[in-house]
A and B are shown apart, each in its own frame.
Chain A
Amino acid sequence: MLFRTVKELVEIAEREGKKISEVMIDQEVMVTKRSREEIIAQMEKNLQVMENAVEKGLKGVTSHSGLTGGDAVLLQKYIEKGNTLSGGLILDAVSKAVATNEVNAAMGLICATPTAGSAGVVPGTLFAVKNKLNPTREQMINFLFTSGAFGYVVANNAFISGAAGGCQAEVGSAAGMAAAAIVEMAGGTPSQCSEAFAITLKNMLGLVCDPVAGLVEVPCVKRNAMGAANAMVAADMALAGVKSRIPCDEVIEAMFRIGKSMPSALRETAQGGLAATPTGRRLQQEIFGSPQK
């Protein structure tokens, strides 16, 4: 194992003059004993699945429950009009994150990053930033390795599932992963990647997992939208030189402690938060006829 913490990851990258993505590939070779080519080819497959999901979602899909679908299309049409307030690039990332999660909710094929419920953030930002930075296919694959490196640290030191640690563990982690990868693609340093991750996750702390009717739809799709927006802004902040006062690994540890103290009703049981609102309950009734329990 080359690294267990973000601090170690950044130190290796800076000492060896490598990008975070390269350190992740090195570690993967070491741990799995597979060849670099094989590992990169597998990641390219994941990239392809992500690209297909974004395209499919932008054409418009609807979930079986009817709760989600079509918002990615609405956003793209709105961007085309050219009068966006928060900027075309951010909204493009938002719409592509939404597209992916709408496909996921419709039981389509996606690549979990790090989970299915949070699968929109990383590809959403990647395929938006792509239009601005014109990366090579290799750089796009590296985007996923950099995301993966940060996700790997979170998964081993905290958690990445809503049932274990709330939405902060899923969309929070995904947004941090995306922010770090955007920074690397934009030419930032490894330590700027870690600042971007820390700034993003700090702003996702405490986010609960409260899916209406237990479906990965409401509010998951829109949480991916905001995760993508959060990642884009945090990446810009880190590239500007803004630093997180609390080091990245300590933010991850804080996320872990917060998740540990979250009641079960707010960890993917559909018993608290938005799921327990009058409308949340009514939707559950309409979809399943009666409460699941």
Chain B
Amino acid sequence: MKFRSVFDIIGPIMIGPSSSHTAGAARIGRVARTIFGRQPKWAKIHLYGSFAETYKGHGTDVAIVGGLLDFDTFDNRIIDALIIAKDIGMDIEFIEESEVPEHPNTARIILGDELGQLEIVGLSIGGGKIEIDEINGFKLRLTGEHPAIIVVNNDRFGCIASVANVLAKYEINIGHMEVSRKEKGKLALMVLETDENVDEQVMEEISKLPHILQVARIVE
């Protein structure tokens, strides 16, 4: 069941005009920023399908940038997001793609600063709901609605257990989990949706585990 809550249907409260092209787009931008962990200095935003055809009319551009600036769907500042981004020196580029995506409302966002970069693919699946489909080339499924941690690790035995052990030690329950890898024995990525927020101390402990390369989180 993709839609779990009645508030996926009656809601969100949002700045118009489109739940998928404005509110969903803002949420994709905001999740990208959250996973990146800080405000990016630049972003390249590739738009596919209906996003590419109609983004100007729907305010998809201002919404995604609003999300990157950490604005929620009902935040009035979304309307001026492009101007705000320019004022603070965030470099934004939009690329309209003609390739036909699997889902009509797809955005690929590459964001970064001098310390690093992140690439995510987000889908706006209707009524403001979104799914993150890919992070740094790893296929996955993440809604951004629950607290979660995203771990990049070497593809070795015991990695998943060691991360789960740390969460167990802090009595954090895992609600949903996915693992993904590009090639056997190389890099892997795991996504763990948790019932509670994972705090800084836990994050640090996980990042010090063997074969763990990078840890990011989504806080509710």
Contact = CB atoms under 8 A, between A and B. Distances in A.
A161 B19 CA distance: 9
Interface residues of B, number: 43
Contacts of B19: 112, 114-117, 119, 161
Nearest to A147: B10
Interface stretch (B49-57, B107-115, B152-160, B179-187): B49-57
Interface stretch (A77-85, A214-222, A232-240): A214-222
A267 B54 contact: no
A161 B11 contact: no
Interface stretch (B34-42, B122-130, B196-204): B122-130
Interface string B16-36: 111110110000000000000
Contacts of B100: 264
B15 interface: yes
A227 interface: no
Given A111-B10, A115-B20, A160 B54 contact: no
B12 interface: yes
A110 to B, nearest CB: 6
Interface stretch (A9-17, A41-49, A191-199): A41-49
Interface stretch (B1-9, B85-93, B207-215): B1-9
B67 interface: no
A194 to B, nearest CB: 16
Contact of A109 (B14, B18, B55): B14
A148 B6 CA distance: 5
A149 B13 CA distance: 18
Contact of B126 (A39, A152, A164): A164
B56 A288 contact: yes
Interface string A151-182: 11001100111111000010000000100000
B16 A107 contact: yes
Contact of A107 (B1, B15, B55): B15
A193 to B, nearest CB: 15
B143 to A, nearest CB: 14
B30 to A, nearest CB: 17
Interface in B136-173: none
A90 interface: no
A152 B9 contact: yes
A96 B82 CA distance: 32
B8 A155 contact: yes
B194 interface: no
A264 to B, nearest CB: 7
Nearest to A102: B16
Given A32-B5, A217-B17, A268-B50, A292 B56 contact: yes
Contacts of A164: 104, 125-126
A151 B10 contact: yes
8 contacts: A109-B76, A119-B19, A177-B9, A211-B57, A215-B57, A215-B58, A268-B54, A270-B54
